[in-house]
Amino acid sequence: MKTATAAVLALTLALPLLAARPARAAEDPATLTLSAEGVSRLAPDMATISLGVVTEAPTAGDALKQNAERMTKVMAALRNAGLAERDIQTSGLSISPQYDYANNKPPALRGYQAANQVTATVRDLRRLGPILDSTVSVGANSAGQVNFGLSDPLTAENAAREAAVKALKAKADLYARATGYSGVRLTALSEGGFVPQPRPMMKAYAMAAPMADSAPTPVAPGELNISITVNGVFDLVK
């Protein structure tokens, strides 16, 4: 009789402990963690160009003076092409000694090089080629990359976001069907960032003025790819 009473008492004490235990892991919903990319493609409507003047002279003062005279003409050509002051910005200015090197001899000072670089924003792409030609004709003798862009990137970014979310949901539904579930429930969503992918990017070096009867410098804007990545966590639904 005492044994039976002890067994009943032990079971009575264990019941609250059993009720307090969390649900077993097997009863938790299965989850998916996925990512997807959305891309928006459209033609650029603006470009930034980097160009400048490099001069050499026996003295630093002469190199800088010659450079200033030519760069003044380059900036005037940009303004005459219709660019606003806010779209013309000095991006680099330097002066450095130049040496000649020979075997078994110390470096010999040849003179000084002055370099002045300007970055310009062109908002009418039809004028990009003629602008490059006009600056070269008045003294620009170095040019860097031409980067195409959008004056209003938000519209393209939002279109890429919508495409990314649709792709993410489609991927989650596919995994659900493939694993025998009826659907999914989104529990978390985050954005991985956007990456503009311009194409093409033209890199040119203008070392001499174009001939007066030559055709304008051809420029092909191509299209821009705006890429957005989204990440999601889903519960699988039975």
**CATH 3.30.110.170 domain extents, the chain:** 27-44+152-198+217-238
Distance in angstroms between the alpha carbons of the first and the last residue of the chain: 49
The correct answer on CATH 3.30.110.170 for the domain covering 27-44+152-198+217-238 is yes
- Please provide the average confidence, as pLDDT, over all residues in the chain: 85
What is the rounded average pLDDT of the residues 123-137?
A: 93
User: Residue 7 above 50 pLDDT?
Assistant: no
The encoded tokens of residue 7 equal 């067994």
SS3 of 13, please?
Answer: helix
SS3 of 144, please?
Answer: strand
**CATH 3.30.70.2970 domain extents, the chain:** 46-149
Identify which has the larger pLDDT, 53 or 12.
53
Any idea which residue has 């989850």 for tokens? 31
Give pLDDT, residue 163.
Answer: 97
Asked whether the beta carbons of 210 and 217 are under 8 A apart, the reply is yes
- pLDDT tens for each residue of 29-54: 899 999 999 999 999 999 999 999 99
Q: Which helix (H) or strand (E) holds 130?
A: helix 128-137
Asked whether the beta carbons of 135 and 73 are under 8 A apart, the reply is no
| Nearest one of 149, 146, 151, 150 to 201, comparing CA atoms | 146
Give pLDDT, residue 179.
Answer: 95
How is domain 46-149 classified at the CATH fold level? Alpha-Beta Plaits (3.30.70)
